[in-house]
Chains A and B, each alone.
Chain A
Amino acid sequence: MRKPWQPQQPRSWWLRNPAYRRYMLREATALPLLLYTLLLLAGIVQFSRGEAAFATWLSWLQTPAGLLLQGIALAAALLHAVTWVALVPKILVIDSDRLRIDPRHVLRAHQLGALAGNLGLVGATLWLLWPAGGA
């Protein structure tokens, strides 16, 4: 019978080293981001049920629990964005005979893209919904 060697590692392995703690914090961003995605999904359900149900969902966003979730999710999304973009040039390596791109350019392009995407989205929301202008 096979008797595989079981490496002994304490469950608290990640608490001792700051780099491991940062890694676990980065992975933990998934939890608030999942809960926020479920909040958005609830918005789609409420939207499909009509105007009144959608207005109820909008009021959920403003409850203390809703604001707390969105606040934690915003912090998690910012940490995710910074750590994700920093990893992109290590994973997206464009280094073949036909095409070579300096990793610094890959990093810069994704930094600019993430800035443009996020600021553009907030800008579009403000432009569409500014009280003086529209809905």
Chain B
Amino acid sequence: MRRSHEPISWSLFGAGGMLLAFIGPGLIASTLLLGWLVQDPQALYATLSSGLQHPLTRLATLAVIALPLYHTAHRLYHGLHDLHIKGPTWLLGGFFYGGATALSALCAFWLFTL
């Protein structure tokens, strides 16, 4: 039997869903508040710079980007089926899961070459 990618894609979907449930609304509320809270962008830049010095902070930031990417890619991919939008599996799967993987890799590159 051909091996299914479902355990991997569902694990990433589940992890992203859990992360979005636990910090998603709080994160979005925080960036909405930034405009009123930040009077000096340079000071915020310095604060974030020192925070991102630690590799664990970079790893956590990568998780906050990559896991929601896989979560939303999974839901949109299966949403196409619900809407009766058909296409070759390799193309649609490649677009959603491949896109999430490519953007996660780019994010890792940007974070770890800071």
Q: How far is the CB of A27 from chain B (nearest CB, A)?
A: 5
Interface size on B, residues (CB 8 A): 53
Known contacts A70-B31, A118-B22; is A34 also within 8 Å of B42 by CB? no
Does B95 sit at the interface, judged by CB under 8 A?
Answer: no
Chain A, residue nearest B64 (CB): A40
Interface size on A, residues (CB 8 A): 55
Scan residues 96-120 of chain A and give those whose CB is less than 8 A from a CB of chain B: 110, 113-114, 117-120
Do the beta carbons of B27 and A121 come within 8 Å of each other? Answer: yes
Does A93 sit at the interface, judged by CB under 8 A?
Answer: no
Q: Which of A27, A70, A78 lies in contact with B75, CB distance below 8 A?
A: A27
Chain A, residue nearest B33 (CB): A125
Interface on chain A toward B: helix, strand, loop, or mixed SS? helix
Does B23 sit at the interface, judged by CB under 8 A?
Answer: yes
In the complex, chain B residues whose CB is within 8 Å of the CB of A9: 84
In the complex, chain A residues whose CB is within 8 Å of the CB of B26: 117-122
Do the beta carbons of A80 and B24 come within 8 Å of each other? Answer: yes
Measured between alpha carbons, how far is A129 from B91 in the docked complex, in Å? 45
